[in-house]
Amino acid sequence: MPNEYRVSVKPQHERKEFITAQVATAKVGSHTSYDVYEGTAATLPIILLPLDLPLYRMANGRTQTHQLAYIATNGKSQDFFQSGEENETAQQIQHEILRKLALKESDSITSIMDELERTKQTDPLLITPAGVIVNGNRRLTAMRELHNSRPADFPSFANVQCAVLPTLTPEQVDDLEIRLQMTPETKLPYGWIDECLKIHKQTIAKRKEEDIARVMRKKKADITRALSALNYAEIYLRDWKKKPQDYSLVEAGEQFFNDLVTRLRGKDGPLLEANMRMAWILFDNRLSLGGRIYDFNKILGERAPEVLTNLSDRIEIEPATSPAPTAGGDDLDVDLGEEEVVGTPYSDLIAALDDENRREEISDALRAVCQTLIDAKRTAQEGNSAVSAIRDANTRLAEVDFTKADPKTYDGIERQLDEIVRRATELKEKLSAYRTSTTTPLVQEPSK
């Protein structure tokens, strides 16, 4: 079995000198155009580089969550990858992350590894003047793996085609990556957390949300929602799971956390804190809840105070009490008798929700409360179905305008009106019978 591919890092000045020399001798016509600057095409030289010369770009948006998971799991410093672009150890880890992504298939899309094995290299990698890959990190990984394991089958991968960018600022490189990768045509879309982190990084750089939306070809509302969803995911990881930035724990939660933005809108203070904790319990139990998690989450958002009250009753939490305020300042000490309930801030319930020893008990109780409210809502809707149907029919009749009716339809209209009068008379008689009945409602016979 061949040895795994080992990344080697040549000094930056050597890479720059080699690339500069290759660009200087590039043949006329061996250029291509890319949307390097927004709305403006640029002509780039195409050169051949040894397979081991390019470096992986550590700010690759697609690998952010994987990098953070590695840092959390292995106790590395937060800047392990950011400061390790010229470090062989960090580059090797990045290679392993990219190798897994290169093997990943999305729906019916063939993996990059399989695609390259069949078609070889068709598009150049996009690199900086220092040889750092801006677009094509996964392809470079696949070519390295294939050439390392079967060099006789892939001799052309000993050298890779690269298009050399002009000198760009880090912000320009980020924008270029977004235009090339984070568009609807991308073969392997960014994970939702990777995309949110990319947006967050843009806001840290003081980019306006409308500008980020334009570059990403999204609506401004999508950018705002993504930032809010990321915020709730980070609260869940940091405060609930005690595993900050371990985004692997929320990879399956795109719809849940996006829905949560709407469910928690307009809430603040203790109500928000309690509502979030109930949402975290739902998410922790998502596998057993299945599709019901979204119905439960909706109930939490729409009827949070009612859910909290019922949950308190089920787990026997008393509302918080405090002495009634006294008039005349702190010096006046008058015993007014019984303490007055001044409105609970859910403090005791929040404490119970935070108690890990009670999680299973509270989870079962919360599930029962949500299901009860959902069932009650469904029953109420069914109870109102008759009046809703009659109201709709009345509304439709009120919209009838004979002045626009075709005379050929008059006979048909008259027959339908006779039938409506008959049905309405029959329904009024049955309604009267139901009203006067003191026992089980009469069984309604089908209309003839």
303-348 pLDDT, tens per residue?
Answer: 999 999 889 888 887 654 434 444 444 443 434 344 443 444 688 8
If residue 287 lies in a helix (H) or strand (E), which one and from where to where? helix 286-289
- What are 162's strand-pairing partners? 47, 125
Going by pLDDT thresholds of 50, 70 and 90, the confidence category of residue 436 is: confident
Burial class (CB in 10 A: 0-12, 13-18, 19+), 205: exposed
Q: What is the largest CA-CA distance in the chain?
A: 100
For tokens 């009650």, name the residue. Answer: 376
Strands 133-135 and 31-37: unpaired
Q: How far is CA 68 from CA 82, 118, 247, 356, 361, in A?
A: 11, 33, 7, 26, 33
**Edge-to-edge order in the sheet of strand 31-37:** 31-37, 40-50, 159-164, 125-127, 133-135
pLDDT, tens digit, 9 for 90 and up, residues 339-384: 443 444 688 899 999 999 999 999 999 998 898 888 887 776 666 6
pLDDT, tens digit, 9 for 90 and up, residues 106-164: 544 446 666 666 666 678 899 999 999 998 888 899 889 888 988 888 888 899 999 99
**pLDDT for residue 40 is more than 70:** no
Q: Mean per-residue pLDDT for 268-278?
A: 92
Which structure tokens are listed for 372?
């009860």
CA dihedral 287, 291, 293, 299 (to 10 degrees): -170
Average pLDDT, the chain: 81
Which structure tokens are listed for 268?
């603040």
| Residue 55 DSSP code | B
Q: Which of 231, 225, 193, 186 has the alpha carbon at shortest distance from 209?
A: 225
pLDDT, tens digit, 9 for 90 and up, residues 173-216: 888 877 776 544 434 456 888 889 888 888 888 888 998 888 88
Residue 45 main-chain phi, psi, to 5 deg: -75, 145
In single-letter form, the type of residue at position 104 comes to K
**Interatomic CA distance for residues 82 and 78, integer angstroms:** 8
pLDDT value, residue 39: 63
34: left (phi over 0), alpha (psi -120 to 50) or beta: beta
Which structure tokens are listed for 308?
């909290």
If residue 296 lies in a helix (H) or strand (E), which one and from where to where? helix 292-302
- The model's pTM: 0.55
pLDDT value, residue 59: 87
Which structure tokens are listed for 56?
């992986």
266: left (phi over 0), alpha (psi -120 to 50) or beta: left
Are 134 and 173 a contacting pair, CB within 8 Å?
yes
**Interatomic CA distance for residues 56 and 85, integer angstroms:** 7
Q: What percent of the chain has pLDDT over 90?
A: 29
Indicate if the alpha-carbon torsion angle 262, 266, 269, 270 is positive or negative: negative
